[in-house]
Amino acid sequence: MGRRQLEISHSGLDMYLDCARKWYYAHHPKIPKKTDYPGLCGLEIHRHIAQFYRPTREPRAFYFKYKISAIKTWFKRWQRALEEAELRKTLILPDENKAKKYGRIGAICIANYWNANLKTLRPLQVEKHYRTRLDNGVFLVGVFDQVRQVSLDWIKHHRSEIVRNGKLIDGYENVVIVDLKTGYLSYDYRQFKENPSLMKRIRLQYELHENLQTTLYTFLYEKTTGKKPVGFIWYHLRSNKSFFTYREERDYSVLLDNIEYYLENIKAQLFPKHIGYNCRVCDYLEVCREDRYFLLVEPEELLEDLDEVGIVPNLVKKDSCRQLKLKFKIPRKKAKKLVIYPKEEEPIILRNLPWDEKKSEL
């Protein structure tokens, strides 16, 4: 079997950075893939909203004639997804109440989308695949939920620095990338407190303005089309609120650092565990424990109670063979030339800091 061409997506990159062992299991050909209710619901909502823009015989805003039809069809879609997950035994911790809960959440998201978009311009693209080859031979890939056109007036209000003399400056296209989000939390700093401090607002939205998905999608769009998008909209369907952000050239260096780190560690076959809160809903918890049994303990008073430690068998077995090496084509890293600088007496000058080093253009 030949080596597969490694493709870098934001989900794979984020997964490796979050837990490299999870990334390994997700790419292992013999380990079954699982999901949970939030993940399954999010996937089906994306598919259902994409169906809004299927072609129709007579021109109209959406494929569905009425909002109630879109919602009824959603519940049918959700039921089919649950039945398929049950048949394949891919659902983590099946729970009838949760199944109903996320069916209702999906209906809320569908209704919100209908109300907000019935009279807006249709997206230029829906579920569009983007792919570009980097100079090191690796492919950067992404599926954009939507690409939408925006007016010059809208751009002036959101990014006045890229409008000059009443025109969008060269190198930009009057579009934004829209990503649909179905989770509970958003970047609305008023969600839990009416008037939080400025620093709390900054901390809450720091991830929005730094996350790798937005950076990768912006970079991918530019490399594919030759133009930068105006920005990226994080569209929270549960609240029907959108949150705008954008990326600049300096943000690309963060992406490139992470891509280099990702490639070098996969090449070295490094997949350490990162144990944390996310383990509670991880798709690969059983295999992560390997052939060791699980432990359970009861809460007790310090050094007083005598409860035994619970031992729970794990059905996962392990043979004596070496761990499977995933066969990906990893580009070789070019050796850098050694640069020797003369000794400086005064003042102290910092040179060649790793995070400031100029990256070769992809």
**Structure confidence by residue, pLDDT tens digits, 279-320:** 999 999 999 998 889 999 988 888 887 788 999 998 888 776
Is 285 part of a structural domain of the chain? no
Residue pair 274/24 in contact by the 8 Å Cβ criterion: no
Per-residue pLDDT band at 355 (split at 50, 70, 90): very low
Per-residue pLDDT band at 331 (split at 50, 70, 90): low
Q: Which of 232, 263, 294 is the last residue of a domain?
A: 263
pLDDT of residue 136: 83
Q: 142 has which bridge partners?
A: 130
Q: Report the domain count for the chain.
A: 2
Mean pLDDT of the residues in the chain:
89
Residues 38, 33: Cα–Cα separation, whole Å: 15
Average pLDDT over residues 49-63: 94
Phi and psi (nearest 5°) for 72?
-60, -40
pLDDT of residue 6: 82
Looking at the structure, tell me whether residues 162 and 242 fall in a common domain.
yes
Q: Which of 263, 290, 319 is the last residue of a domain?
A: 263
- Torsion from C-alpha of 15, 81, 127, 215, nearest 10 degrees: -20
What's the domain range around 101? 31-117
Looking at the structure, tell me whether residues 194 and 161 fall in a common domain.
yes
Is 160 part of a structural domain of the chain? yes
pLDDT of residue 306: 77
Average pLDDT over residues 214-232: 97
Looking at the structure, tell me whether residues 223 and 108 fall in a common domain.
no
Is 223 part of a structural domain of the chain? yes
Average pLDDT over residues 324-341: 57
Per-residue pLDDT band at 329 (split at 50, 70, 90): low
Looking at the structure, tell me whether residues 96 and 198 fall in a common domain.
no
pLDDT of residue 348: 42
Looking at the structure, tell me whether residues 164 and 252 fall in a common domain.
yes
Residues 6 or more apart whose Cβ sits within 8 Å of residue 73: 48, 51, 64
pLDDT of residue 231: 98
Is 197 part of a structural domain of the chain? yes
Looking at the structure, tell me whether residues 129 and 173 fall in a common domain.
yes
Looking at the structure, tell me whether residues 41 and 74 fall in a common domain.
yes
Determine the angle formed by the axes of helices 212-225 and 10-18, rounding to 10 degrees: 150
Give the H/E segment covering residue 67: helix 67-88
Q: Is 184 helix (H, G, I), strand (E, B) or coil?
A: coil
Is 68 part of a structural domain of the chain? yes
Average pLDDT over residues 239-255: 96
Encode pLDDT of 131-163 as tens digits: 999 888 899 999 999 999 999 999 999 999 999
Per-residue pLDDT band at 349 (split at 50, 70, 90): very low
